[in-house]
Amino acid sequence: MRYAFVLPGGDPLTCAALAAEAEAAGWDGIFVPDCISIETADVPPSPAYDPWVTLAAMAMRTRSIRIGTLVTPVPRRRPWKLAQEAVSLEHLSGGRLTLAVGLGAAQDDGGFSKVGEPLDLRTRAELLDEGLELLAGLWTGQPFTFHGSHYQVEGLTLLPKPVQSPRIPVWVVGVWPRPKSMLRALRWDGVVLQKGDGSAGRPSPGDVAAMRAYAESHRKSDLPPVDIVVEGETPVLDARESGAVTRSYAEAGATWWVESRWASPDPLVDAHDRIHAGPPRA
């Protein structure tokens, strides 16, 4: 299993410093959110910096740690622009980018709900599917044509190609055990696993084991094994307990643990402390 951290916000310079600290502490990846303005009845708006500027700063302060978004809402992006941004960052980082994508928090992100972007689930799912096809096609570096319900592309060539082969790895949010969501995610490189029962809790090791079995029977045989990505929180001061948590997920088949600490009253201080404590290795 590999271990990553998703930063709970922060300006580009702060995130770059935390990325360097995470690399020194032995983490395998560090990610940032991709949103415009998150606001709910319980959460007032807070500063949200552009993820691509932030990741560029992080790339310049690190040498080996994997970086990326968690997650990019493809339905509110122009896929050709997203493809170019991702390739540019991937070249800047020397091939260390992972792009995690999903439908987007449409009701909570003002970048959807307050600017007229589609909110209904079916339309966003169509935009996500077409957007992913466009990303993969444009990253080939060959003239690409696509005719969909939402996007029309005629012979567009995007250069340079990604450093990584066959392309930039794509993780897709998969809601377990919803078949449409899972089958979409299994066409790509990783599944950011979420529960489909409406709870806010993380998937259990049993969910991971069941999803792993589902993946083995539903993923195309010519594709490599899919990454299974689980988000969660482990204690800062108890390495044994932290390792016990992640060990249960590793044994169930998870390949990435992403430490996500959204509820802290002082999230950046908490992130600094947890990063310095090191990854919760099983």
What the block records as the tokens of 28 is 């395998």
Question: CA 145 to CA 167: how far, in whole Å?
Answer: 18
Highest CATH level, class, for 2-277:
alpha beta
Instruction: Give the model's confidence band at 254: pLDDT under 50 very low, under 70 low, under 90 confident, else very high.
Output: very high
Candidates 148, 173, 158, 29; CA nearest to 98 is 29
Q: Delimit the domains of the chain by residue range.
A: 2-277
Exposure string for 211-238, b = 16+ CB within 10 A, e = fewer: bbebbeeebeeeeeebbbbbbbbbebee
Q: State the pLDDT at residue 265.
A: 73
If you search the block for the tokens 């169930």, which residue do you land on? 252
- The whole model's pTM is what? 0.95
Residue 54 has pLDDT above 60, yes or no: yes
Lowest mean pLDDT segment, chosen from 65-79, 104-118, 244-258: 104-118
Overall average pLDDT of the 264-281 stretch: 89
Confidence (pLDDT) at 77: 95
Answer yes or no: is pLDDT of 266 > 90: no
Q: What pLDDT, on the 0 to 100 scale, is given for residue 197? A: 67
Q: Tokens 């589609």 belong to which residue?
A: 118
**How close are the terminal C-alpha atoms of the chain, in Å?**
8
- pLDDT at 135 > cutoff 80: yes
- State residue 204's pLDDT score: 95
Q: What is the pLDDT of residue 262?
A: 77
